Structure 1
Amino acid sequence: MSIKVLICDDSAASRLLLRRVIDAQPDMTVVGVAADALIAREMIKTLEPDVLTLDVEMPHMDGLDFLARLMRLRPMPVVMISAFTGEDSDVSIRALELGAVDVLGKPDARSPGALAAYAAEVCDKIRAARAAHVHRPRRADVAAPVATAGAAASARAAQGRIVCIGASTGGTEAIREVLVRLPPHCPPVLIVQHMPEMFTGAFAKRLDSLSQLRVKEAEHGERVEPGCAYLAPGHSHLLLKRHGLAYHCELSGADPVNRHRPSVDVLFHSAAEQAGRAALGVLLTGMGKDGAQGLLAMQRSGAWTIAQDQASCVVYGMPREAAAIGAVSEVSPLTEVAQRIMGRLAGNTGGAVLKQGV
């Protein structure tokens, strides 16, 4: 059945472009276009679209206000498509917190090839949104960190360990849920979230404000430290590299993997090679298969692996693919992932591991 899409954007040029892109797809159709949120509200009632694309800057009611009301009264899949910039990229993070499935910038003056790639990305995000399990958003309160018996002993047991997390659609809130529950003595955490480069800095800052960990965008060559989380910047793959007795971040501009840069598979494969059983692999919600083969490589190298369960995923794609090939040691509801991580670290040192801080 064709995906019914409603476009809400005050720019006639943007509405025309999106309509042409969407109507050219065999599996989706535009059922209506609206120049503002008030018109869109009435169209939603009568047309019952499967997915709404929503601009931010609009007359009468801006997109974020409309999104907040919509998700409170009639939750549905929403893709925010707006002229986000580095200066206001925190708007995109707010949209995701309010319940948008994904965010995407508008195209500038682009070459035909770049425009085709942008069109493919728009359609991919609409398909992912249609598959999303949308809930009313919860308040972004800081959860209490996981209580661990004998924190000092747990910290010693976790020395030399590395936690690697991968996510895509729905992953911003899933990653937040995990990080805010991790205690400050947690081993280093490396994260890949499929997200455009203009958004990752704002996302890292938001996580840093909520978590007891220090959260930052990863920098090429920097040494990873306990109590810190490193987010792959949206323009580069993030790899784990071992130099002597320490681990470092490495950034790569190599070609996309599984159509993504950064790619979860790239991070996981590097963890399998460089850390082996000292690593823990965590695969959260997301569309597609990125991360499945890398998680399998981690498991085969002796690492413990965990995937988010279907019921708590926004899109049960990446975890399902990993489970299907036998890459998952354990499946867990999202709210219990941090507890499982810390329990594993406290109860199993993973054999010979590197010592951080040497």
Structure 2
Amino acid sequence: MSIKVLVVDDSALIREVLSRMLTRDGDIDVVGTAKDPIDAREKIKTLNPDVVTLDIEMPNMNGLQFLEKLMRLRPTPVVMVSTLTKKGASETLLALELGAVDFVAKPSAEFEGGLDGFGANLRDKIRAAAKSDVRGRSAGRADAPKVPLKTAAAPSGALIAIGASTGGVEAIRTVLSLMPTDCPPIVIAQHMPPGFTARFAARLDEVCDLTVVEADDRMVLLPGHAYVAKGDYHLRVERSSGQLKTRLTHDELESGHRPSVDVLFESVARTVGAMAVGAILTGMGRDGARGLKMMRDAGAYTVGQSQGSALVYGMPRVAFEEGAVVEQAPIEAIAGRLANALVRLKSAA
């Protein structure tokens, strides 16, 4: 059964291009297009699409305002089509906080060079969005309760590694906002293109007690700090001069991604071993399962986000089925699970 999509954009050219791209493989049906949110509101009622693509800058009502109303009144999977600008990145992250499932960055001017890749990426995002549980998330789950953890203290050399994809922006924010500032360094691989990860890290830094930065090459990993993999770069952890440091590389895609969760987790397994703890969160596909299994085999504590709380139960499901996780937990409980594992490490030391 094909996925029904409504394309919302004020540009007739963009509506035509997106519609042509989406229907290319035959499993996606563009049931309608809308030129602005007012038009979209009526067509959502009559066409009942499975997924909506939404631009932010539109006449009559801003796309963010429309998204907020839609998620409150009629929760529907939404994929944002965003511009690669600093303003576009900030608005896109706000859209994800408001309930959008994912986003794609518009191709460069005049669609030079990257149109086929953009189309394939967009179709993949639509398929993931169609499987997402926005209605369950909207109906049953408020923000994570602000119950501060007393401590996540651990021996020197301990490390936290987190990986996520679709839905990860909100999931990572939930985990980091509950982590105390005495926790060991946190390294994060979130599937996100260049131009967005710096703003993502800055946004996390604004809302969390931890210091959150976009990772640069050869940064010393410090307690109370979190390091987000830079878009289009793999993030690894290495030990140099007795210190844990970041390594950024631009080598081949791994598990279909750059940054890849597998690349990060495998480096953590080799470098930190049983002194690490890891979490795999919401996302489509299988990236991270192999690396997390290596971490568990090396003696690390590992946790996967449970099905009921994951926007897309793909990556955590594969990790669970392949024996990579010690246990599964709802997103609101993962910070506590990580902290408890770190406390046990400290007691053992």
TM-score band, normalised by the shorter chain?
Answer: over 0.9
- Structure 1 residue 88, shift from structure 2 partner: 3.6
Identify unmatched segments of 5+ residues in structure 2: none
Cα displacement (A) at 1:195: 1.0
Does residue 306 of structure 1 match 2:308?
no
| In structure 2, C-alpha distance between the alignment counterparts of 1:275 and 1:289, rounded to whole Å | 23
Moved over 3 A (4+): 109-112, 137-142, 349-352
Superposed, which structure 2 residues align to 1:332-343 within 5 Å? 332-343=329-340
**Is contact 2:262–2:292 with CA below 8 Å preserved after alignment?**
yes
Does the CA-based 8 Å contact 1:284-1:313 persist in structure 2?
Answer: yes
Alignment of 1:129-278 (within 5 A): 129-134=129-134, 135-136=137-138, 143-148=146-151, 155=153, 157-278=154-275
Q: For residues 242 and 43 of structure 1, what CA distance do their matches in structure 2 show?
A: 56
In the superposition, the TM-score normalised over structure 2's length comes to 0.95
Displacement of 1:65 in angstroms is 0.5
String of CA shifts for 1:285-314, please: whole Å, max 9, x gaps: 000000000001111111111100000000
* TM, length-normalised to structure 1: 0.93
- The answer to whether the 8 Å contact 1:158/1:186 transfers is no
Deviation of 1:349 after TM superposition, in Å, equals: 3.8
Give, in whole Å, the separation in 1 of the partners of 2:82 and 2:166: 18
Cα deviation code 1:189-239 (max 9, x no counterpart): 000111111111111111111111100000101100000000001121100
- C-alpha displacement of 1:4: 0.2
Aligned length: 345
Q: Which consecutive residues of structure 1, in runs of 5 or more, have no partner in the other structure?
A: 149-153, 353-358
Q: What corresponds to 2:13 in structure 1? A: 13
Asked whether the equivalents of residues 164 and 282 of structure 1 are also in contact (C-alpha less than 8 Å), the reply is yes
Task: Assess, with a 3 A threshold, how the Cα gap between structure 1 residues 330 and 275 changes in structure 2: closer, same or farther.
Answer: same
Root-mean-square deviation over aligned CA pairs: 1.7
Residue aligned with 1:197, SS: coil
1:93 paired residue number = 93
**Shift, 1:106, TM fit:** 1.2
> Are the aligned partners of 1:277 and 1:350 in contact in 2 as well (CA < 8 Å)?
no
Native 8 Å contact 1:213 1:229 kept in 2: yes
Note the C-alpha offset of 1:89: 1.4
Deviations, residues 273-296 of structure 1 (Å, cap 9, x unaligned): 111111111100000000000001
In the TM superposition, what is the alpha-carbon distance from 1:348 to its structure 2 partner? 2.6
Q: Which amino acid in the other structure matches residue 138 of structure 2?
A: R
1:281 aligns to what SS in structure 2? strand
Residues 50 and 130, structure 1, Cα contact 8 Å, conserved in 2:
yes
Contact 2:144 2:332 in 1 (8 A): no
Residues 332, 142 of structure 1: alpha-carbon distance in 2 compared, 3 angstrom cutoff: closer
